[in-house]
Amino acid sequence: MANKLVDLQNISKAYGDNVILDDLNLYIKENEFLTLLGPSGCGKTTTLRIIGGFETPDSGKVIFEGKDISKLPPNERQLNTVFQKYALFTHMTIAENIAFGLKIKNKSRQYIKDKIEYALKLVNLKGFENRSVDSLSGGQQQRIAIARAIVNEPKLLLLDEPLGALDLKLRQDMQYELIRLKNELGITFIYVTHDQEEALTMSDTIVVMNQGYIQQIGSPEDIYNEPQNAFVADFIGESNIIDGIFVQDEVVEICGKKFACVDKGFGNNTPVDVVIRPEDIDLVDPKEGTITGIVKSLLFKGVHYEMEVEANGRDWLVHSTDLSPVGAMVGIKVDPYDIQIMKKPESEDEEAVVNDEQ
């Protein structure tokens, strides 16, 4: 296992009565692309700012390579931050922007020249040295902000929603660029976003946050396929989250009908939350379905049709490449492996139990 680079221990932060982080524990491994994902106000940016030294935790420690850096200012930490607004100096050329941090460190003129050339080549903007910031597109400015960060050879790069201002196509292009840079440079990335697709595309590890708590930590596949609670299931992609009764091991009752599942250990006749992804529902001949329903609405989404099927007193969201017209009677069938069972939280604020091992 890779070494821990950053270890956040019992971090809490509040502004007045507003608790942003509540006893947060998290570690980041060397050369990992870790994404903090969650809705606005969940604490992800505050976590990033505490790691960067722009905020001080009310309690807890930030450990970097085994040393407590909680009290160190940002410029004394071996990291750089790329902000959503890029924070480029408009009165400087591209070369001057990139060289800014190196000049403060009193690096030689030749060293700085070589580093500028290297960084521009890395972000595919070779020859842009003398251009002004205002002459660049949003995507190019974002690359310059990254180039300025990486010339300082940080061990850790913090990225606070850096693609938020870009259009969809450019954002997708930059996602691949960031993955390439991370692999080439061997730098650890901590990335903040509220965009689920972005997190699933780029990350080695995703940390899903809500209301100052970590809800789940895992690989993109784990987070998507094995959500630990209804919040994660609902936030990552689209889901049917249904009240169910766990009858016994490998049997769950949904909408009054028994479905085979693969889960065990939830007891007998226990109320549970059942998660079924829209793409995991098969629409079949009514005679072949576990339950039957009527197609209420139909949307063409390019790669699939999105249908709403009313069955046994509830609406089911279905994604399929096969079209069932509005008004059609259909059967609903779900493979046992595609039914995810989760215990119901005892209260609205119940914190997800998170395995300490990433």
Q: Are residues 158 and 264 in the same domain?
A: no
> What's the CA angle centered on 58, arms 205 and 3, to 5 degrees?
30
Q: Is residue 102 part of a domain?
A: yes
Q: Taking 50 as the threshold, does the pLDDT of residue 352 lie above it?
A: no
Q: Are residues 153 and 55 in the same domain?
A: yes
Q: Which two tokens stand for residue 110?
A: 């030749």
Confidence of residue 349 (pLDDT cuts 50, 70, 90): low
Q: Mean pLDDT across the stretch 213-232?
A: 94
Which residues lie closer than 8 Å to 109 by C-beta, 6 or more apart? none
Q: Which of 225, 257, 291 is the last residue of a domain?
A: 225
Confidence of residue 348 (pLDDT cuts 50, 70, 90): low
Q: Is residue 351 part of a domain?
A: no
Confidence of residue 316 (pLDDT cuts 50, 70, 90): very high
In this prediction, residue 15 carries a pLDDT of 93
Q: Are residues 321 and 198 in the same domain?
A: no
Q: Is residue 232 part of a domain?
A: no
Q: Which of 190, 225, 260 is the last residue of a domain?
A: 225
Q: Mean pLDDT across the stretch 197-206?
A: 94
CATH of the domain at 249: 2.40.50.140
Number of domains in the chain: 2
Q: Mean pLDDT across the stretch 141-145?
A: 86
Distance separating alpha carbons of residues 225 and 220, to the nearest angstrom: 8
Distance separating alpha carbons of residues 139 and 124, to the nearest angstrom: 11
**Closest of 281, 279, 28, 67 to residue 156, by C-alpha:** 28
Where is pLDDT greater, at 27 or 104?
27
In this prediction, residue 350 carries a pLDDT of 52
Q: Contact 134/93 with Cβ under 8 angstroms?
A: no
Q: Taking 60 as the threshold, does the pLDDT of residue 356 lie above it?
A: no
CATH of the domain at 57: 3.40.50.300
Which residues lie closer than 8 Å to 263 by C-beta, 6 or more apart? 246, 249, 250, 252, 339, 340, 341
Confidence of residue 358 (pLDDT cuts 50, 70, 90): very low
Q: Are residues 247 and 211 in the same domain?
A: no
Q: Is residue 349 part of a domain?
A: no
Q: Is residue 35 part of a domain?
A: yes
Range of the domain at 282: 238-343
Q: Is residue 200 part of a domain?
A: yes
Distance separating alpha carbons of residues 120 and 250, to the nearest angstrom: 56
Q: Is residue 354 part of a domain?
A: no
Q: Which of 225, 257, 280 is the last residue of a domain?
A: 225
Q: Are residues 130 and 247 in the same domain?
A: no
Q: Are residues 213 and 251 in the same domain?
A: no
Would you tell me how many other CB atoms lie within 10 Å of the CB of residue 267?
Answer: 12
Q: Mean pLDDT across the stretch 265-272?
A: 96
In this prediction, residue 163 carries a pLDDT of 81
Percent of the chain's residues with pLDDT above 70: 95
Q: Are residues 213 and 255 in the same domain?
A: no
> Three-state SS across 205-256?
EEEEEECCEEEEEECHHHHHHCCCCHHHHHHCCCCEEEEEEEEECCEEEECC
In this prediction, residue 153 carries a pLDDT of 83
Q: Is residue 233 part of a domain?
A: no
Q: Mean pLDDT across the stretch 163-191?
A: 85
